[in-house]
Amino acid sequence: MDETRIWQTIDAERAATADLLAGLSDAEWASPSLCDGWTVREVAAHLSLAPHTTIGSAIREFARARGSFNRMVDQTARRAALRPCDELVAQLRGIVGSRKLAPGQKLKDCLMDVMVHTQDIALPLGIDRHMPVEAAVVAADHLWQMGFPFHARRRLAGHRLVATDADWSAGEGTEISGPIEALVMLLAGRTATNPRLTGIH
């Protein structure tokens, strides 16, 4: 996928996720997501933040988090989640069409982030959402190559991952196979889609 098509996919995923969120009940907004310690509300807040993050604000937040990237991400999401649900939906809709990344963020980070976090919201609620296959392949390649924070190659050493619905594979060893979107979630450290995979225990 070229840059234009990746951005188009990000826009489509943001818009669809905003629509999904707009239809949730108060109880669903407060439900646990697949992100440890985050409800659906915190994930939704996190998804809306990147285009509004400046270098200056990122430096301030990093200092406030005492030099911990993960703590910074957690704290900013929790503060943003204090806003009303309809404002979070509106802000997510409002960044459709934005071509701004957070400081230090890569375009493929942004693509992977919105697709994985949409599943973090949908799967625990029993909502059937699917990743676009071509974009999921791009995300899988990116997750396999990157280290922090997922360390997929180290975590899945000794396994060969094979998609059953796309031309994608990575690694060497005992085969783990299944739909590309389930492999993306595995690469991102989630276990919720493991039942859709063969060869994983």
Q: In terms of domains, do 115 and 25 share one?
A: yes
Q: In terms of domains, do 65 and 155 share one?
A: no
Q: In terms of domains, do 93 and 155 share one?
A: no
Q: In terms of domains, do 27 and 106 share one?
A: yes
Q: In terms of domains, do 60 and 139 share one?
A: no
Which of 128, 121, 127, 125 has its CA nearest to residue 41?
121
| Residue 166 DSSP SS3 | coil
Q: In terms of domains, do 15 and 106 share one?
A: yes
Q: In terms of domains, do 148 and 172 share one?
A: yes
Token code pair at residue 130? 């699917």
Which residue, of 107, 125, 143, is where some domain finishes?
125
Q: What is the CATH number of the domain that holds 93?
A: 1.20.120.450
Q: In terms of domains, do 145 and 81 share one?
A: no
Within a domain: residue 102?
A: yes
* CA contacts within 13 A on the Cβ side of 104: 8
Which residue, of 125, 142, 169, is where some domain finishes?
125
* pLDDT for the residue 169: 98
Q: Classify strands 169-171 and 159-163 as parallel, antiparallel or unpaired.
A: antiparallel
DSSP 51: G
| Residue 142 DSSP SS3 | helix
Within a domain: residue 31?
A: yes
Within a domain: residue 201?
A: no
Q: In terms of domains, do 121 and 177 share one?
A: no
Q: In terms of domains, do 149 and 106 share one?
A: no
Within a domain: residue 119?
A: yes
Domain, as residue range, for 58: 3-125
Q: In terms of domains, do 101 and 140 share one?
A: no
Distance between CA atoms of residues 134 and 137, nearest Å: 5
Per the structure, how many domains does the chain have?
2
A 10 A CB-CB count for 194 gives: 14
* pLDDT for the residue 127: 96
Low-confidence ranges of the chain (pLDDT < 50): none
H-only helix segments in 85-189: 85-94, 107-122, 133-145, 152-155, 180-187
- Please tell me the pTM assigned to this model: 0.92
**What is the per-residue pLDDT across 162-191, written as a single tens digit (0 to 9) for each?**
999 999 999 999 999 999 999 999 999 999
**What is the per-residue pLDDT across 126-152, written as a single tens digit (0 to 9) for each?**
999 999 999 999 999 999 999 888 999
Within a domain: residue 139?
A: yes
Q: In terms of domains, do 23 and 117 share one?
A: yes
Which residue, of 125, 142, 175, is where some domain finishes?
125
* pLDDT for the residue 96: 96
